[in-house]
Structure 1
Amino acid sequence: MQTTETVEETTVTFDRRGTGQPLVFLHGGMAPSEYWDPVVPHFDDYATIVPRRPGFGTCRDDPGETSADEVLDREVEYVHTLVDAVDGEPILFGHSYGALTAIEAATAAEVAAVVAYEPAILPEGFRAEANLADRMESLIARGERHEAVKRYVELVLHPDGIDDLDGWLDAWPPWPACVDLAEEVLRMNRAVEQYRLPDRLAVDAPVLVLTGTDGPEFLRESARDVHEALPHSRLVEFDGISHGGPSKAPAVVATEVEAFLQA
C-alpha cells in the first residue's frame, strides 16, 4: 500500500505493508527502493515502510538546486518527517548511504532502534585521499556521464578490482537507468567525502552495526569505527557476505536483526 502524507509542508511517500511496529528501510545511494524486496518478507510482524527517498528517482523537488553540503541534511530531514508521519517509535534499517542517514537521523529523532549495514562513512586516512567526486565532476563536465557513474561503481562497489566491469554492469538491475542520476550521485559522494565521523555519536537508541567479510575493507573499518563512536551498539560481521548483504543474504541478515530487536 502506497501512502503519501504531508508533515509541516514536507511530503513523504512510502510503501507500507503489514501492521505492527514501524520498520523503516532506507536504501543506499545507487539502489532503487526495490532493493528491499527480498528483505521485507522476513519481517511479517512489523509494519514495513519503504520510503521513496528524495534525490534518487523518488521525491525529487529539484536536485539541481541541492549542493553537496545539503544532501545529507536534506535526507535526514526527510527521515525526520517520515518518523513524524508514522504511528509509534519506528526502527530505522539503513544500508550504505541509507545507514549513514539512519544514524544521523537518530541523533535528533525518537526512534526505537537503528540497524546500520556498512554505513557509507570513510575512515579518516581513506577519506583524506578520496578524490572520486572530483573525478566524477570532471567526467560529467565533459559530457561523459556513463563513465562518471562507472567510476563510482568500480571504485565504491569493487575497490579490489573487477575483471569485466561492463559485463557486471549489463547484469546489474539499476544500470543504465542510474546514469540519469549522475549529478545526484556526485553530490552524494562528495557529501560522503566531506563527512567526518565524530568521536561520539549522540544516538540514545540501541544500534546494530552490520558488516560482511566480502565487502570493501574500508567499509568494514568504518563499521568498527561507527560501533566505537556509539554509546549503545552491537557489531556483527557476517562471514562470506558482501556489501549487498541485505538483498543477497536476506534470511541470514534478518535473523540477526530479529534477534537484536527481540533482545
Structure 2
Amino acid sequence: MVTTQSIEGPEIAYERHGDGQPLIFLHGGMAPRQYWNPILPHFEEYGAVIPQRPGFGTCLDNPAKTSADEVLGREVQYVRALADAVDGDPILFGHSYGALTAVEAAADAAVEAVLAYEPAVLPDSYRKEADLADRMATLIEDGERREAVKRYIEQVLHPDGIDDLDAWLAEWPVWPDCVKLAEEVVRMNRAVEQYQLPAVLDVQAPVLVMTGTGGPDFLRESARGVHETLPHSRLVEFDSVSHSGPSEAPERISAEAEAFLNV
C-alpha cells in the first residue's frame, strides 16, 4: 500500500500495480479494493492504481459524522487529488458509485478518459421509490445491521430476487466484513438519492458508459441518461451482464474498454 498526501485534501491510501499509464480503479458501494482482482490481468500494460475509498478503511478523521451532502464532494476531492498525484494524465475506471465519482471528478481533473460502469444515478421516474437509505437506517437503529446490508444487496445486486440469499452471502468474499460499513452505505445511498443529474456534464475527456441487461432497469436507464449529458461519450450495453459487470464479465468489459481507449 502506497500513501500520498494532497496539499489541501485528505490522506489517500492506494495500491499500485505496474509502471504503465495510470489507470485509477474506483470501486462502488459494498465492494472492497479486491473487487477489481478479476479484471486487473486484462490491463497489465497500465499502472493500476487502486485507492481505498474515504470512510472505507482510510484515515478519514470521523466518517461517522460525515453528512450525506458531503459524501460525494469528499470523494470527488480525493479522486482529483489522486489524479494530480500520479504521473501523467490518468484514466479513471469507476463502478457504480465509483463511476459517478469518476464522472464528477473528470469535470475538473486532468484525465485522459473515463470508463464508467453503471454510474449510481437515479432517474426521476425511480427517485420517488428510492427509500433504501431510510429503510437501512431504521434497521440499523433497531440493531439489525446485517438485515440493513441485506436490503442493499437485494435492491442493487439482486433486484429480480434470489432463491437463497444467505447461501449466496456465505460465498461472498466480503461478507460479513461489509456489515461494518452499514452506516457509510446509508450515507452513500442518501447522496445518490439526493443527486440530480444536470442537463450537461462538463467533462471534456471521452467517456465510455457501460451497462448490462442483467442488472436493475433503473441503472440501465440512468446509464443512458448519463451518456446523453456528456459531450464526448459512447454507450455500450452488455447482454445478460448484471450490475457487477467488471468482476462478473472481465473479458467482455476489458475488451470493450481497450477498443475505446485505442481509437
Instruction: Report the Cα offset of residue 139 of structure 1.
Output: 1.0
User: Which residue is equivalent to 1:21?
Assistant: 21
Counterpart of 1:158 in structure 2 is 158
Within-5 A mapping of 1:139-178: 139-178=139-178
Offset from partner CA, 1:115-159 (integer Å, 9 cap, x none) = 000011111110122111111111111111111111111111111
Q: Which TM-score applies when normalising by structure 1?
A: 0.97
Q: What TM-score do the two structures reach when normalised by structure 2?
A: 0.97
Paired positions, count: 262
CA deviation after TM superposition for structure 1 residue 6, in Å: 0.9
CA contact (8 A) 2:159 2:215 kept: no
- List aligned pairs for 1:129-208, cutoff 5 A: 129-208=129-208
Distance 1:135 1:20 in 2: 44
Give, in angstroms, the shift of residue 59 of structure 1. 3.9
Conserved 8 A contact 1:29-1:56 = no
- For residue 210 of structure 1, give the secondary structure of its aligned residue in structure 2: strand
Q: Displacement of 1:80 after TM fit?
A: 0.9
- Report the 3-state secondary structure (helix = DSSP H, G, I; strand = E; otherwise coil) of the residue aligned with 1:222: helix
> Which amino acid is 2:130 matched to?
A
What CA distance in whole angstroms lies between the structure 2 residues aligned with 1:12 and 1:26? Answer: 13
CA distance in 1, matches of 2:57, 2:248: 22
How much does 1:112 deviate? 0.6
Partner of 2:113: 113
Compare 59-68 and 178-187 and name the one that shifted more: 59-68
Counterpart-to-counterpart distance in 1, 2:129 and 2:254? 35
Task: Report the counterpart of residue 213 of structure 2 in structure 1.
Answer: 213
Quote the RMSD (CA, aligned, Å): 1.1
Contact 1:212 1:238 in 2 (8 A): yes
Whole-angstrom distance in 2 between the partners of 1:37 and 1:8: 30
Native 8 Å contact 2:16 2:50 kept in 1:
yes
Shift of 1:165: 1.4
The runs of 5 or more residues in structure 2 that have no matched partner are none
CA contact (8 A) 1:53 1:59 kept: no
Deviations 1:178-227 (A, max 9, x none): 11111001000111111111111111100000011111111111001110
Percent pairwise identity: 68
Alpha-carbon distance in 2 for matches of 1:173, 1:217: 26
1:237 counterpart residue number: 237
